[in-house]
Chain A
Amino acid sequence: MLEMLILLVCGSILVSGVLAVMLNNLMAAMVSAGLASLFAAASYVLLAAPDVAMAEAAIGSGLATLIFLYAIRKTGGDVTDE
């Protein structure tokens, strides 16, 4: 059961990571990258490392995503990336 859950979460990391690379809309890509980070935090919790999970959830999916969003807006890359 736990193995299945871990596999599911790891698969989600992969999917959202690939989406972050493939998506043309920069905002959507950035949210997808944050999602990958969030799934990574979930996998740390499942693997019994709550200390690491807390840092990953706060920094990886919270602060890093926001900094990227600010940067995207500042450079005017809000639209689609051709």
Chain B
Amino acid sequence: MRRVFILLVVAGFGVIFAGLVTGYSERQALSALATFYLTEVPVDLGAANVVTGILISFRGFDTLGEVAVLFMVAASVGVILASEPGDKPLLLPAIGGKGQGPSELVRNGAEVVLPLIFLFGTYVIMNGHLSAGGGFQGGAVVASGVMLMMLAYPTGPLHHGFLTITETLAGVFYVSIGILGMVLAGGFLDSHILPRGEFGTLFSAGAIPLISMLLGIKVGAELSVIIDRFRN
């Protein structure tokens, strides 16, 4: 009975996707909305990367929502996995090492790779308005660097409170810039509060690099907090 039901559900999905696949034809011309974005983002916002321009300015409110969801996830993971006040955090060894600390390979590899990962994450965050990437992606890259750091140095210098405070401050500044946009420019999270600058340079595109930076810090710290919760 159960098997038959599962089979029916799978068959139903198959029918739906078959309809999607057979009815698909590649669009020859851009839709009106895409044309608007492609012409308006470089001219109006001054961002060479259209995707980041849309994500941070036109759809800035959606991005704020995404960050809020991430914050909720971090908070609920904290509630579920919080250790008791009297509990000593048991320092589990990193994956791969049985009983003792991380292996030689992980520790030495981390020393070589870690600076590069952090540099790349910062680059992605800072150049979000020029090339592929942006605050969210760069923050994720930085968080994966922090993850490697936790694996390589289980008793390392990473402080939980520091991460939480960084994340909270970045969130507060992010929303403040949004409100500033409402006061000085067209609306919430409007990037016109700073001069547009020269197209294609690092300090251009209004407030987009600033918002991207805050977003990157917030996402990076939040993901690190989540991993840190799972660690102990």
Contact = CB atoms under 8 A, between A and B. Distances in A.
Contacts of A74: 92, 230
A51 B143 contact: no
B130 interface: no
Contacts, number: 52
A20 B141 CA distance: 25
B208 interface: no
Contacts of A55: 136-137, 140
Interface residues of A, number: 15
Interface residues of B, number: 22
Contacts of B52: 51
B124 A54 contact: yes
* B interface SS class: helix
Given A50-B133, A59-B223, 18 more contacts: A51-B132, A54-B132, A54-B133, A55-B137, A58-B140, A59-B140, A62-B144, A63-B140, A63-B147, A63-B223, A63-B227, A66-B95, A67-B226, A67-B227, A70-B230, A70-B231, A71-B230, A73-B95
Interface of A: 50-51, 54-55, 58-59, 62-63, 66-67, 69-71, 73-74
